């Protein structure tokens, strides 16, 4: 009996040392070290004769007691579970619209951080406007900022473009040439449309055709666009129908004026009279503007590149002098007005 008592006493005396050694040998994270130290303290208290009532409750980490921590963990787990489901639904929806796996991978790589539902809403609006999967991918790769547009703004702009007649497949070229049509201010688009309708007197159908065939006009300065039309209509004698058919408004004013005036001074182009008649047959607009400079000189102007280069320098000098004279006239007019006010 005495021997048994000594063994029990020796076990109680060795228990603290054994747990201390285990705690030192076991690698633990910082959060678990505090818990292990707390448990070790309780066990040492019991082994040293402390009350069992103290040891019956082990205090958990404080962060686990806070409801917001539990809510955050649950939310994080739900998000992780939800993401694969959203991706799966996103891919399925794109395939239903006709996108191939290659298209899907391209779309997912454009803006990796974009929410799948946001991407799906934007893509759906483009499909509803009559675009096929391939043009949609091209447009979004050229302008990834489209994926960040608010869905409501996209819907409103789509509705406005339909009113302009740019739905049903006509938007493909517009979006390819001018993808910012969805991001630019609607007021800027309305100004360009207003110039074409009110200043240039194109019909609604002709305006739609111009926007479809020459979407670059959306980037034009309104005043320069009006001047380009006036030059073609009054100076070159080209009618509205021909301006639309030949896509004349997509060419720069410099190119149009250089080639037209060069032909005029060579005697190969005349401004039609009021009856639309000329003494020499004017070349077709496509042979003036749609061809390369070499082909223009060889077939239309029948002149050399050197002669055309000299002419372009002379024309530029004439325009500078003309602008200088106009500036002098304006200053003289201002001085005369000031003199009149003083009198």
Output the six-digit token pair for 249.
């408004």
**Rounded Cα distance, 15 and 7, in Å:** 12
Output the six-digit token pair for 44.
């040492």
> Is the model's pTM score more than 0.75?
no
Domain map (residue ranges) of the chain:
252-323
Q: What is the mean pLDDT of residues 78-96?
A: 71
Tell me the pLDDT band of 342, cut-offs 50, 70 and 90: low
Residue 326 pLDDT: 65
A 10 A CB-CB count for 27 gives: 7
Inter-residue contact 175 to 139 (CB < 8 Å): yes
Quick one: which of 174, 141, 142 has its CA closest to 158?
174
Residue 115 pLDDT: 86
Task: Tell me the per-residue pLDDT of 211-259, one tens digit each, with 9 for 90 and over.
Answer: 999 999 999 999 999 999 999 999 999 999 999 999 999 999 999 999 9
Give the CA angle between residues 30, 31, 33 to the nearest 5°. 65
């Amino acid at each position: 009996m005495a021997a048994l008592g000594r063994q029990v006493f020796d076990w109680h005396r060795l228990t603290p040392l054994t747990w201390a050694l285990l705690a030192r040998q076991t690698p633990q994270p910082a959060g678990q070290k505090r818990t292990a130290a707390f448990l070790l303290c309780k066990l040492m208290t019991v082994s040293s004769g402390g009350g069992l009532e103290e040891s019956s409750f082990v205090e958990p980490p404080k962060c686990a007691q806070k409801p917001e921590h539990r809510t955050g963990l649950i939310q994080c787990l739900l998000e992780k579970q939800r993401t694969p489901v959203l991706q799966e639904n996103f891919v399925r929806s794109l395939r239903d619209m006709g996108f191939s796996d290659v298209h899907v991978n391209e779309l997912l790589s454009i803006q990796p951080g974009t929410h799948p539902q946001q991407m799906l809403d934007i893509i759906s609006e483009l499909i509803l406007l009559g675009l096929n999967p391939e043009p949609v991918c091209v447009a979004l790769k050229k302008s990834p900022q489209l994926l960040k547009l608010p869905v409501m703004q996209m819907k409103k702009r789509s509705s406005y473009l339909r009113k302009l007649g740019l739905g049903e497949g006509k938007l493909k070229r517009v979006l390819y040439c001018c993808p910012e049509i969805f991001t630019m201010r609607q007021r800027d688009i309305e100004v360009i449309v207003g110039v074409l309708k009110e200043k240039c007197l194109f019909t609604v159908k002709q305006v739609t055709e111009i926007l479809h065939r020459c979407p670059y006009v959306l980037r034009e300065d309104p005043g320069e666009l009006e001047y380009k039309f006036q030059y073609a209509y009054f100076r070159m004698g080209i009618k509205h129908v021909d301006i639309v058919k030949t896509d004349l408004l997509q060419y720069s004013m410099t190119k149009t004026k250089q080639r037209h005036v060069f032909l005029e001074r060579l005697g190969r182009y005349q401004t039609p009279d009021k009856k639309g008649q000329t003494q020499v047959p004017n070349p077709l607009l496509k042979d003036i503007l749609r061809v390369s400079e070499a082909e223009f000189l060889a077939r239309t102007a029948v002149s050399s590149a050197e002669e055309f280069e000299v002419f372009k320098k002379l024309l530029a000098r004439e325009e500078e002098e003309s602008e200088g004279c106009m500036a002098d006239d304006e200053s003289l007019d201002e001085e005369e007005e000031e003199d009149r006010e003083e009198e």
